[in-house]
Structure 1
């Protein structure tokens, strides 16, 4: 299988399409299965893709390196069970070499299984992937798990191997107050930092801004954040027209009474997710932490699962959802997809807070597919939001 796996979404085939496109794969030969998988990928047919990948795994197909690409595809699509099985197949094909095992560390990190990722990486040789990168990943996982001092030590170790490295400095700045010897080290590595590429250099300048803020120098902080933002702007240009078009689509095609009618004939409970959203830096993380302090609620973070519903429906507009239903899909299908992705990540028990930031662009899809899910919209003074966004590294 030689296709290039990208971050394409997989849509759920509408019911009348599914019966036409599914192939009899139970006894198909390996070349036929791979051809069918490529065709399912081209159609962005989530169900058929997952079905064929499961069959390939059950047969222990000798795909070697390709298992890693399949694992990444499944992870991007939210199919974590298949992603983990595929990465284990890749590791087995590579005779459990440490470099292959590190691929599983990456997958576990992407899936927010941070303790598992941390433990696996800690068991690997210190040169995997390389000393600085190893310490950086261990530092980030430790910090996210709440072990700040352990994470601090690892991140400083990463900087011993790679002085001035922007990602390590940004992680440190996010975890600790820099006013002290660590901040002096950050300043001392400025000349080395300037030799990095623009993306890593931007991260260094955001860390530098945090240092100046910690030391009570707002003018120097503003200058550092400005430099970091300028570097990022050159790397990731913003399309005002594209953003406006997306917002318009999200508000289009939802006539009066649409959601009342959408509730007719629903057969699944959709109250498990709790959406907490609003403008970036409006307080969503604090509210998420408060809600997740309840023993029956899980801290989901920015899940971005709703984008899979939009891909399945063919867009974020009411017109797209209407067309999806006219083609044989149902709103229960969309709701079930989101709930399935929750099960894949968190298991079947407990409610889950989803604080995906751009939920406003999916409001109609959420209301149609998950009508019982509560949504909390956070509001904060716009100037406070703007300043907090300005000093935050989002990418």
Structure 2
């Protein structure tokens, strides 16, 4: 923080840490298991959730704020905030003039621990997806456009194969099953899978850990789904008489505010003369269900598969050039080659 204190940049934190031990526990603490150790079945989502309680996030936020005076002008930012217990802490800090903001993610606003089946490791991420009550409080915070501490909403896209997710077969689609390594049944059945002994042992070990939330890769695949996720959930909340941001607020938090955060507000995040002509054509009435074939990333493994959405992206334009089209003769990514530009802004020596 002292190194960056006079630079026009943002210092971002993954805010999770083990809470300090408040009471003396004697020398036995040196041999005891850490607070994060699982207590329960490893394929139970409740076991995983209990291993990363909200206090992990609140302790980290408080630790960050305790050092804020080292760099009073530096923008501090909490990435992928999950626990709403952090919100009053951040609000109070902002009232004191500390330049700190937070973001949350599509999966924290659209998925809840109440609905996660045991073994469905597609839902593993850190911090974890928490309860429906926690999710409701997140929505209330982002609906408070003026005073809220959550200023941006992001995907935190972290794709991986079903193999790395240790996903049990019952949660795999046919596409994923075709691309995973041979099963233990195949290995032991006499089928020639031409694998070296080391790969066979790895496959057996992976099969034994299927559904293990502690061994599986952590991360959610959702890039490109932000608008459908948020628009669907917000519309449902408004229909139920609950607080939710408008589509304009959603665009602000997902586009305008993120562009400003990374120093690109002079060319990204808006539609006006002099800006890059980055445009998304969104049909807010299209009702559809996400299938593996609709995922626009390589390894099609996501907890969003099977979810029914209202609203769908029909076209995407980058600097005035169409790069994606849904349906039609030229369906999918169009143009044949990447058109993005590398943005390397030197902010410090």
Common topology (TM > 0.5): no
TM-score category of the 2 structures, normalised to the smaller one: under 0.3
Higher helix share: 1
